[in-house]
Amino acid sequence: MLLAGAVAGVVTVPGPAVGADSCEEGRTRYVADTPAGLVRLGASQAWPLATGAGTTVAVLDSGVADANAHFPDGSVLPGRSFVGGSATEDVRLHGTAVAGVVAARPVEGSGVVGLARGASVLPVKVVADDTREGPDADAGVLAEAIAYAADEGAEVIVVALSTFVDDARLRDATAAALRSGSLVVASAGNRASKDDPATGVRYPAGYPGVLGVAATDDGDRVAENAVRGPHVDLAAPGVEVLTTYGAWGDCYLSADAGSSSYATGYVAAAAALVAQRYPGAGPRGWAHRLEATAARARRDARDDVVGWGVVQPVAALTAVLDGSLAGPPPPGSSPAPSEEAPVERLAVTQVPDPGAADRRRVTWVAVGATGLLLALALLRLGRTRRGG
């Protein structure tokens, strides 16, 4: 997705980047191919363990077109629009594509299906219908939408948007969602052009407890246009993604560049699988499972390119997390220091006491007075004895 530029407190999202064969609005078609992302993530091995059934994934975006056959009755909840129009209509097409990655249902003649194909989708519209380019989602609106999704009981909240601006409203909303039991999964951002900065924190991915997601290509390499930074926690497929296209079936999207939007959808879907299998673990526990079991070059280290690695749903569903697995610290613990912290020895300097001389004088006066009284007492005692 595109990033907010000079406009503070605004996030932007493009329409889906259409593949070379160019899908056509208004013409329904289905693609029989199995999405490559599902193959790479081992979906067929994950589904016997969990499908996301019983969980709700909120998609905060441009709406979700429930008229698409991949979303039969009951799979998409009524939701809410914060920008006018209906949450179950999608002029921009972006939200429907993300929702398809998450929870599209099987359709005859189509290979498209969501990784969490049993989850319910809660559409929350934060991107207006009236423009396809430019700034279009206020950070304050996004904060309200996150609060709404959490209040509705969504286990997972997908925010396939990002902004440069650290907005207090967004920060507070993500923190409150985490406390209420919702895991926010957000785009780590893409560069729209080579002139855009390749590094730097994007929000809400950069907030504590939020999973920031980068896109990978068909070789599990992080896409060249992905934004790097400390806000990157995980990566997932985001190039040439086969998913739902508006109300009209299927389409290949992002054929020429990576899209962290769809990668975010895959990680959110994986989180829904984990939430179904481990409901008591809560959002921090779900995130830890995804991070601890991700595929990475070094088990004990993350980096600003791939985070803790490429998400591995099957491993996240089956791993025994007894503390022996190298990687991120479990929730509630502190990471071990990489090396012994140096001990700083303090030099103690004696500071002159300005009242010392006066106290010495008082002491000597007291001692002198005591001596004088003692001498007088002895003298009286001696006189008494002589007089007796």
Catalytic residues: 61, 94, 261
> Rounded CA gap, 14 and 200, in Å?
20
> Rounded CA gap, 201 and 146, in Å?
20
Kindly report the three-state secondary structure assignment for every residue of 83-117. Answer: CCCCCCCCCCCHHHHHHHHHHCCCCCCCCCCCCCC
Residue 211 bridge partners (DSSP): 185
Q: Residue 275's closest CA among 233, 215, 326, 316?
A: 316
Q: Tell me the H-state helices in the chain.
A: 36-40, 43-46, 94-103, 139-151, 168-180, 260-277, 282-292, 313-318, 356-387
Q: What angle do CA 118, 123, 129 make, to 5 degrees?
A: 140
> Rounded CA gap, 113 and 115, in Å?
7
Q: Residue 204's closest CA among 262, 148, 261, 163?
A: 163
Residue type for position 290: L
Q: Residue 184's closest CA among 124, 267, 243?
A: 267
The token pair that represents 299 in the structure block: 């088990």
Q: Residue 135's closest CA among 238, 3, 240?
A: 3
> Rounded CA gap, 43 and 137, in Å?
33
Cβ distance 311 to 42 under 8 Å?
no
> Rounded CA gap, 221 and 212, in Å?
16
> Rounded CA gap, 184 and 175, in Å?
9
Cβ distance 212 to 291 under 8 Å?
no
The token pair that represents 120 in the structure block: 């319910």
Residue type for position 172: D
A 10 A CB-CB count for 345 gives 6
Backbone angles phi, psi at 173, to 5 degrees: -65, -40
